[in-house]
Amino acid sequence: MLCNLTSIAIRVGAPRVVPTRGIPYPTGDPSLGPEQERAWRRTLVETALVALSTAVDKPTVFDGSDQSDQSDETNGA
Amino acid sequence: MTRVVHYLNQFFTGVGGEDAASTSPARTDGAVGPGRKLQALLGDDFEVVATVSCGDDYAAGEPKAVDEILALVKDAKPDVVVIGPAFSSGRYGLACGRLAAAATQAGLAAVAAMHPDNPGLDEAAGAPVVRSGEAAREMGPSLETLAAAVRKLVAGEDLTDAEGRLGKPARRNRVADENAARRAVALVLARLGGDREATEVPLPNFDQVTPAAPVEDLSQVTVALVSEGALVPAANPDKLESARATRWAHYSVEGRDSLPSGEFISVHGGFSTVAANEDPQRIVPLDVARELETEGAIGRLHGEYLVTAGNGTSVGNAKRFGTEWVADLRKSGVRAAILTAT
């Protein structure tokens, strides 16, 4: 499950959760240029594939994003 | 005179709709919007001295939002903080639940109102929350419940089921009328008599989801894209609802490398769809999923995506969609699904 409000996803028991950057655009980030945004989307879906191939026994967050990415400042905007 | 500070979202303070959902917290003097009705219900012993408002996206998604909101609330020196009602709105409910918890933690008297299904109820962490209706059309009776709860709270009394108290109330010691053995026997007799609800210790009702086993080799299986982001062909041929959905739909992606802007739109009524409509891949990531299929990272991308609108959806309908989706995907030989959620 790719979503921004990971705390809710965890609480309702979604087994594999990938955090995204904004509520209205789970697999996008309008603050990025088109190529960067597509690369970010690919990272998200690749992280989802990692999650799908990983055994979990409880709700688990898989965060594959690059923490140094400047656009992190736009979280929730 | 009891000083009341009222919290509302950007919609109810008239700041704007989804276009204003990222608005940061602000305070205005006096009662605004539904606060005027609240003031009338509370009467002359109370004064709504200020209204604090925040956009839903900011309030639910920004980690520092609750601290900023609480600071604005405190500056207005409230005797009691009144929050909502949030009805079944998820982001608004989260903000209300968090504010109720933070205000209570800070030693302020506070009470929020929301629908029992609102996910924000858990965020209140035991702070007082009373029942509201499901949607704003039930504003009148919801405010009446809330006003009655405010009066009790200010009088120093506990809120109970009778006042519409939701969630787990704080535990307080008191002397029972009968000893534990007598009460236990009475409960056993009640149960034998067919009463399945009677209890002294209500247990939380957690839905258990057993995680599916991992897929060993994704390059050998079919993967589906599914979403609650209400992305549909522009004409919305199945008339998917924008809120409180009762159905779901499925649309072909066969032969497509992307979902073009203009051809697909989101009809979701719970957030600004501007970004989604500019690039539908922001809801259903077909472009990169197709790329990963071409490269062999996944064996095959399922020929259609499944979609509903997750906006005030009842828990019953949501469970049914989930069950139907799993049955539909299994029948098509899909082994794994990627769900995008707004």
Res A49 pLDDT > 80: yes
Q: Does A28 touch chain B (CB under 8 A)?
A: yes
Q: Which residues contact A70 (CB under 8 A, 6 or more apart)?
A: none
The encoded tokens of residue A33 equal 């240029």
Strands (E), chain B: 2-9, 26-29, 46-54, 80-83, 109-114, 129-131, 222-227, 231-233, 249-252, 264-266, 300-301, 304-307, 334-340
The chain-wide mean pLDDT, for chain B, equals 94
C-alpha B342/C-alpha B307 separation (Å) is: 12
Cβ(B317)–Cβ(B245) below 8 Å: yes
**Per-residue pLDDT band at B170 (split at 50, 70, 90):** low
Residues of A in contact with B282 (CB under 8 A): 24-28, 30, 41
**Mean pLDDT across A32-54:** 97
Q: What is the pLDDT of residues B37-77, one digit of tens each?
A: 999 999 999 999 999 999 999 999 999 999 999 999 999 99
Quote the ipTM score: 0.86
Q: Residue B86 in contact with residue B131, Cβ under 8 Å?
A: no
All structural domains of chain A with their residue ranges: 2-65
Using the beta-carbon criterion (under 8 Å), do B297 and A49 form an inter-chain contact?
yes
CB contact under 8 A, A5 and B283: no
Top pLDDT among B200 and B55 is at: B55
Q: What's the CA dihedral at B64, B67, B71, B73 to 10 degrees?
A: 110
Q: How large is the average pLDDT for residues B135-159?
A: 95
In angstroms, rounded to a whole number, what is the distance separating the alpha carbons of residues B297 and B299? 7
Range list for CATH 3.40.50 in chain B: 2-163
Burial (0-12, 13-18, 19+ Cβ within 10 Å), A57: exposed
| Contact B299/A at CB under 8 A | no
SS3 B141: helix
**What would the pLDDT profile of B175-191 be if each residue is shown by its tens digit?**
999 999 999 999 999 99
Q: Which CATH architecture has domain B2-163?
A: 3-Layer(aba) Sandwich (3.40)
End-to-end CA distance of chain A: 21
CB B338 within 8 A of CB B253: no
Element (H, E) at B96: helix B90-105
Tell me the nearest-neighbour CA distance from B118 into chain A, angstroms.
11
- The predicted-structure confidence for B105-142, as pLDDT tens digits, reads as follows 999 999 999 999 898 998 998 899 999 999 999 999 99
| C-alpha–C-alpha distance, residues B8 and A54, integer Å | 42
User: Which residues, 6+ apart, have CB-to-CB distance to B77 below 8 Å?
Assistant: B3, B49
